[in-house]
A = this chain, B = another copy of it.
Amino acid sequence: MLGLMQQRPLLLSSLIEYAERYHGETEIVSRLLDGTIHRSTYRQVAARARRLAGALRRLGVGYGDRVATLAWNSFRHLELYFGVTGAGSVLHTVNPRLFPEQIHYIIDHAEGGYVFFDLSFIELVEELAPRLPHVRGYVALCERHEMPAVKVPNLLCYEDLLAAENEEYDWPEFDENSASTLCYTSGTTGNPKGVLYSHRSQMLHTFVAMAADVMAVSARDSIMLIVPLFHANAWGLPFAAAATGAKLVLPGMRLDSESIYTLMRDEGCTLAGGIPTIWLNLFTWIEQNRERLNLSDIKLTRVLSGGTAVPRSTIEKFQTLFGTYLLHAWGMTETSPIATMGSLLPKHAGYDLQARYDVQALQGRSIIGCEVRLVDDAGKELPRDGQTVGELQVRGPWVISGYFKGEGGQVVDQDGWFRTGDVAAITPDGYVQITDRAKDVVKSGGEWIGSIEIENLAVAHPAVHEAAVIAARHPKWQERPLLLIHPKPGAVVTKDEMLQFLSGKIVKWWMPDDVVIVDALPHTATGKLLKTKLRQDYGDWLERHSVDARAQA
């Protein structure tokens, strides 16, 4: 017997409608590419999102059609978040920091009809356009007078498109399981794979983001969105902000510490979201400028961080500098991304700060709606005792069921469990402690670097017999790639030669920080590289050798 409650679909358009109606004057603050501050409101964002929806219809972008963005965090990108999804089309946020080859693959694979781009990506768009047959037009996110001379077919101006429409547009109703956003993971093997979110999954994720034990987003928040809009729905923060009427602060492309600090200070930010590297840099900058700063200007009550493990020192720094609670989270593009969140339990009330930091240093606690479990190599479930380590699996209505176009094949088992590739322990209270990375991945400042891709390039060198890339610990970026080379018999190869060989074939920040020439590489019984052994032996290589990170260069 079915209940007799209303069958209204959960649609993302309801969020911007709500924000417009009751929080219409709440500000959306953006730092533009030229550094100036732009002020908008939910009323304006909503009205312009409706104009955008009208423009999409005029351009022939329909239900389910993909719209790609190459853009930083700004009001226009936020308008795309609501305008594209509200209209029933799919917002495909592309990570512009990827190598152009990957970006080309991703946009082409998604088969989107239009690419909306910030002016900082003119060269990139020009380079890609000739090889993107599905793309019918390129929309520059600017005013008419700012329009660049980009050599792409069908170049359009965002503000012109909006000006040609009016604000009278009713958001359509459709199946809540309809696709809403699309985000590719830069996986370790093979090509990036797309995660296709639905209105339902994003709405449920929004509800949970508002929960007191999750992000507790409220109307009284001013949210600094450092996490890019192109990263897994910006951790759900834009949707949760609209759902509560919270103020949003969008820092654009200026992610240097001074820009972030002043914006957080000037806009009274109470909540910020960003990867650990951002905070490490911020603390270094604060140390250097301590005497001219009044730290009590910073009103942050909590900071959300994840993507890679947050160092305990960062947790402590936030507490001691600003009295800010660091919410340590774990999740993936495949989990929308919130899977766990580091809120406290009643028993922690009496803890001193040092003991509390130990709790906060775990990767968050299991929350309702996203199940987590551990399994061994044979797929047998392991106990949640805080000691036993196994592969982390997740399940729930905002967890992936499969990748876009079926890439990667079956990725969940018959009970719906998705293999995360992360190795972890889970305490009886549900705190997850990631003890190891997915085997092949290097996480540099929150960004994944695929080791196999670099290895494949390296072995293309005539003198190389075998190559391995491992994650070596790094004081600033947490991890940087270290390349180990086993030369062919009789062949000689040097570090400089290898780096020169790779140069231009991968993005700069993927370049290994060092190259070690070895006599042999260890293997498993089935002939696979034994990376655990390599990490044991070389994980501290960069620390021992004080090699400068290429990414800094």
Contact = CB atoms under 8 A, between A and B. Distances in A.
Contact of A177 (B3, B175, B343): B3
Contacts of A90: 1
A197 B213 CA distance: 26
A429 B6 contact: no
A430 B22 contact: yes
B8 A396 contact: yes
A328 B197 CA distance: 36
Contacts of A219: 213, 343-346
A473 interface: no
Contact of A4 (B21, B403, B429): B403
Given A207-B204, A384-B21, A430-B22, A244 B368 contact: yes
A398 B4 CA distance: 10
B213 A6 contact: no
A7 B366 CA distance: 20
Nearest to A2: B177
Contact of A207 (B8, B23, B211, B365): B211
A178 interface: yes
A4 B346 contact: no
A305 interface: no
A60 to B, nearest CB: 16
A64 B21 CA distance: 39
Contact of A211 (B4, B199, B211, B366): B211
Contact of A5 (B23, B200, B208): B200
A187 interface: no
Contacts of A8: 395-397, 416
Looking at A21, A213, A418, which has the most chain B CB atoms within 10 Å of its CB?
A213
Given A2-B198, A3-B201, A5-B197, A244 B212 contact: yes
A142 interface: no
Interface string A376-405: 000000001000000000011111111110
A401 to B, nearest CB: 5
Given A3-B199, A207-B211, A22 B365 contact: yes
A22 B219 CA distance: 30
A260 to B, nearest CB: 22
B179 A3 contact: yes
A413 to B, nearest CB: 12
Contacts of A402: 4
A68 to B, nearest CB: 15
A271 B10 CA distance: 30
A1 B175 CA distance: 10
A281 interface: no
A357 interface: no
A1 B111 CA distance: 13
A220 interface: yes
Contacts of A5: 177, 196-198, 200-201, 336, 397-401
A332 interface: no
A498 to B, nearest CB: 37
23 contacts: A2-B175, A3-B179, A4-B196, A4-B402, A4-B404, A5-B196, A5-B197, A5-B198, A5-B397, A6-B418, A7-B397, A8-B397, A8-B416, A14-B368, A14-B369, A21-B384, A22-B365, A207-B368, A210-B214, A212-B212, A213-B244, A219-B346, A220-B346
Interface of A: 1-8, 10, 14-15, 18, 21-24, 63-64, 90, 175, 177-180, 195-201, 204, 206-208, 210-214, 216-220, 243-245, 247, 336, 343-346, 349, 365-366, 368-369, 384, 395-404, 412, 416, 418, 428-430
Given A3-B199, A15-B368, A247-B346, 8 more contacts: A1-B63, A2-B178, A5-B400, A8-B395, A21-B430, A22-B429, A207-B211, A208-B210
